[in-house]
Structure 1
Amino acid sequence: MNELAAPRAAERAARESYGRLLAILSARTHDIAASENALAQAFARALERWPADGIPEQPDAWLLSVARHRKLDAWRHSRIQDAAAQALLLLAGEVDVGTVDGTAVPDERLRLLFVCAHPAIDATARAPLMLQVVLGLDAARMAGAFLTSPSTLGQRLVRAKARIRSAGISFEYPEARELPLRLQDVLQGIHAAYGNGWDDVDGADTLPRGLAAEAIELGRTLCALMPNEPEPLGLLALMLFCQSRAGARLNDAGAYVPLDQQDTARWDPDLLAQAEQHLRQASSRNISGACQLEAAIQSAHCERRVGAPVAPEAMVALYDNLLALRPSLGAQVSRACALAKARGHDVGLQALDAIAAGEVASYQPFWAARGHLLSAGGARAAARQAFDRAIGLSTSAAVRAYLNGTSERL
């Protein structure tokens, strides 16, 4: 057997089945942390045994069996005899190969997303908890997206998992009337998963290859689960617009290319068409939402491919509407850039200066935008200082190189 076949099979299982396996392991005991440890041990065992024994016919079932027995061993070793332990013993006899063949359970990842969106869990922990327990991301990769440090985020996640266990939160789908109440958190989690799939992050794990595609798949599944809700369609459209441009973000030499300089011939026309279709379908519901507005903004950016860019003032209006529905630091910075294009760099800088300094101290897009607007106004020394700050905060080597080159040209 090819020496790389076993590691590749384990990586594929982690990418495609991690959340589903974790949901099955956690369903009875509600102990996500213990299930994560057991699953990690199962993957480590796979990397030991599969090269010698061969890749099992059903890798998911093999991993589940090993992880389940690791959990049983841990419970027996601790000599804890309570209802959760008894439930785990029952689980050992209930879960069979049929549970992980993809038919008995429709999509355990999506089920677990709704578990993580339970109102008993702290709101600031819900989206990062989804990324960790469903997609296997570590705190180092996620921290920047949630504007916090890895240590702070790690503590938040530990508390959230403890809350799930102590509160006995059900691992079933919420009732139909409860789904919309948890929907916004699930949308945020999937959106954050997509964003984390874009770049390599210094010091983070290497698991999320193909994470953007997995987030899109979860978006499609969510649309099927809630076909009458417009916001899942808006999120799916948003991700597809961005994904259509993935092939143009780096040139042939691997250098970063900003959106307004990308070769539109490298954009994927099929994904663009799907995105426009989903956005139209969402708009037909006549219920405005933040995801739909973000998708509309991306659609406007993509109009450049047919030589019909959206008027700058129209882009400002889109951001105004987005901020009215869902204020965010990213939308404020993007609005400032839109204002600069519509009314001049001074107006854009004023909008950036209006943002509280404490909120942007560690926010890389703010400093990159500030550098560009200062350089447009001829303030080269101040622009270089802003670019240096942005370079220090960037987690992507390609983006750092681009910003460094821009700064040096000043």
Structure 2
Amino acid sequence: MPETADAVAEAVARRSYGKLVAILAARTRDVAGAEDALSEAFAAALADWPRHGVPDNPEAWLLAIARRKRIDAGRHDKVTTAASDHLRLIAEELQDMSSETRPIPDQRLALMFACAHSAIEPGIRSPLILQTILGFNAQAIGSAFLVAPATMGARLSRAKAKIKAAGIPLRVPDRSELPDRLSPVLEAVYGAYAGGWNDPAGADASLRNLAGEAIWLGRLIAELLPQEPEALGLLALMLYSHARQAARRDQHGEFIPLAEQDIALWDHPMITEAETLLLRASKLGGLGRYQLEAAIQSAHIDGRRSSLTNWPAIVQLYDGLCAITNSPVALINRAIAVAETQGPAAGLAALPTADNRLAEYQPYWAARAELLARLGDMSTADAAYSRAIGLEADPAVRRFLQKQRSRLRPASR
């Protein structure tokens, strides 16, 4: 049965939204204008395609309509735009429209680099990539990042205006620039993944399966930059984590830690893909954060499969990760690994100090509580569990922590 016009439009939007926005904004750097024009083009498609049929090349049709919309908008705005610039834009657009059968270049990676430019505030880079590449609206993004939709919309608008006003180029950096410029792009994608990781069942519609969309972006980057080891490492890291999604909650929605997960529920082909990516990355040189984090995930997965976790190797991997990032999260996880190799006292000593970064961080207090309990300091462990429970927003994780706390000796009550 042939697809309906609505279904084709939806499929093109899912597959090519960012590709079309990127090419429309390539010259002018006007991301907001490109999005508006593309939105009008999709509206035109929904009106035209059911009556006249879906064109042979829907992407090219949408691009041609969007370009005409931008030219029309340029005519209306020429009072405030230099006439020469306006005429040049029309000439360039009309020239590009001369052949709708020509392949559309893929400039999504260039758009991602623009969204993650140093001139853009770090906190808005990931939401900006989600909107420009995937077409998420401000309400969906705001819900995912716990920001009011109006506030998120204003921040996104300012960021797009910044790209245009500051003349941020939509281009993939030269290879000499790439190491520094690639990092914020990967960080933005991983930030999107982390936003969806806390909704493993996809129960929150507002998140729109952020984790899955971030993996899609990771695949795109790895496809466009196949020789960049950290791009491969990030995709491997996300796949290792995502492969365990079905095992993270039981049938009642209760949280299950890695050590107790049913490995039969893991997505083993996805794990195999992650292993292949990590091996490819290791042969390219340039060991970085995402490769180390992926290697740690791999070691934990191998440990669960073989019932023999290589904790000394995990400590070494965390040593390398901490040296690169100085991340308190990595330091906490390293302390837990140290406890497995040298005992809970050594693990407790390896925990970072509870400074301002950690005072309100639940995993720090949960790790501290576990190590104190293993040392037999039940009263202090109880207080740490209480702090962790109070800081946890996920009801299922909170119940898990309460269960762990209840296993302390009655004397601690």
Give the corresponding residue for 1:89: 90
Deviation string, structure 1 residues 251-278 (Cα, Å, up to 9, x no partner): 4555543322222223233332332233
Deviation string, structure 1 residues 66-124 (Cα, Å, up to 9, x no partner): 433443444344443335544442354244496798x441x322222233344554556
Give the corresponding residue for 2:272: 273
Q: Residues of 1 paired with 2:325 and 2:184: CA distance?
A: 13
TM-superposed CA distance for 1:182, in Å, is 1.5
Deviation string, structure 1 residues 278-307 (Cα, Å, up to 9, x no partner): 323333345322122111101111112431
Residue identity matched to 1:185? P
Using CA pairs under 8 Å that are at least 6 residues apart, name the structure with larger relative contact order, 1 or 2.
Answer: 1
Alignment of 1:52-67 (within 5 A): 55-67=54-66
| Alignment partner of 1:404 is 2:399 | yes
Where 2:174 maps in the other structure, the secondary structure is coil
The percentage of counterpart residues that share the same residue type is 42
Residue identity matched to 2:90? L
Give the corresponding residue for 2:410: none
How many residue pairs get matched?
396
- Conserved 8 A contact 2:362-2:389: no
TM-superposed CA distance for 1:371, in Å, is 6.5
Change in 2 beyond 3 A, CA 1:95/1:311: same
Deviation string, structure 1 residues 172-193 (Cα, Å, up to 9, x no partner): 3333333334222232233334
Where 2:296 maps in the other structure, the secondary structure is helix
- Conserved 8 A contact 1:60-1:100: no
- Conserved 8 A contact 2:120-2:159: yes
Q: Residues of 1 paired with 2:87 and 2:141: CA distance?
A: 35
| Alignment partner of 1:383 is 2:378 | no
Give the corresponding residue for 2:32: 33
- Conserved 8 A contact 1:145-1:192: no
- Conserved 8 A contact 2:331-2:352: no
Give the corresponding residue for 2:80: 80
Change in 2 beyond 3 A, CA 1:59/1:265: same
Where 1:287 maps in the other structure, the secondary structure is coil
Give the corresponding residue for 2:290: 291
Give the corresponding residue for 2:262: 263
Give the corresponding residue for 1:302: 301
Change in 2 beyond 3 A, CA 1:280/1:96: same
Change in 2 beyond 3 A, CA 1:35/1:223: closer
Change in 2 beyond 3 A, CA 1:167/1:233: same
Give the corresponding residue for 1:160: 159
Q: Residues of 2 paired with 1:152 and 1:374: CA distance?
A: 42
> Greater CA deviation, 7-16 or 19-28?
7-16
Change in 2 beyond 3 A, CA 1:340/1:149: farther
Give the corresponding residue for 2:173: 174
Change in 2 beyond 3 A, CA 1:80/1:89: farther
TM-superposed CA distance for 1:250, in Å, is 3.9
Change in 2 beyond 3 A, CA 1:240/1:87: farther
Give the corresponding residue for 2:409: none
Change in 2 beyond 3 A, CA 1:12/1:213: farther
Q: Residues of 2 paired with 1:277 and 1:97: CA distance?
A: 43
Q: Residues of 2 paired with 1:65 and 1:104: CA distance?
A: 11
| Alignment partner of 1:338 is 2:337 | yes
Deviation string, structure 1 residues 301-358 (Cα, Å, up to 9, x no partner): 111243153333432332222011123343234334434544556665666561422x
Where 1:29 maps in the other structure, the secondary structure is coil
State the TM-score, normalized to the length of structure 1: 0.77
> Greater CA deviation, 151-160 or 322-331?
151-160
Unaligned 5+ segments in structure 2 are 407-413
Unaligned 5+ segments in structure 1 are 395-399
Compute the RMSD of aligned alpha carbons: 4.0
Q: Residues of 1 paired with 2:339 and 2:29: CA distance?
A: 50
